[in-house]
Amino acid sequence: NAGVTQTPKFQVLKTGQSMTLQCAQDMNHEYMSWYRQDPGMGLRLIHYSVGAGITDQGEVPNGYNVSRSTTEDFPLRLLSAAPSQTSVYFCASSQPAPRDSPLHFGNGTRLTVT
């Protein structure tokens, strides 16, 4: 059972480049979310989804796009990377919405934008 899988683990981008961070889960979880972790800031919610076809903004959505075409996948797109997006990104899922169920986290993607 793989759980939540994030790829890549590490990525270096130049300012202005675009890329997609992949997140897939095999637990049939309806709820999926993306967080970024910066020193002294804890985990900040970027976007989340309560099911296929439904997405919503979190605390820090600017500069990021998401889509949820399937239950399993929730990719995060950076359209034009900026140094301020240098961070560690975590994808997390739960079933159902996290009122009674904890989040299951992926192993993170460390992104550096130069």
Partner 1 sequence: ILNVEQSPQSLHVQEGDSTNFTCSFPSSNFYALHWYRWETAKSPEALFVMTLNGDEKKKGRISATLNTKEGYSYLYIKGSQPEDSATYLCAFHSSNTGKLIFGQGTTLQVKP
CB 45 within 8 A of CB 37: no
CB contact set of 90 (below 8 Å; sequence gap of 6+): 6, 34, 35, 36, 37, 43, 105, 106, 108
CB 50 within 8 A of CB 31: yes
CB of 33 to partner 1, least distance (A): 7
Q: Which of residues 60-89 bind partner 1 (CB under 8 A)?
A: none
Among 17, 22, 71, 101, binds partner 1 (CB under 8 A): 101
**CB closer to partner 1, 68 vs 81:** 68
Binding site residues, partner 1, CB under 8 A: 31, 33, 35, 40-45, 48, 50, 56, 58-59, 90, 97-108
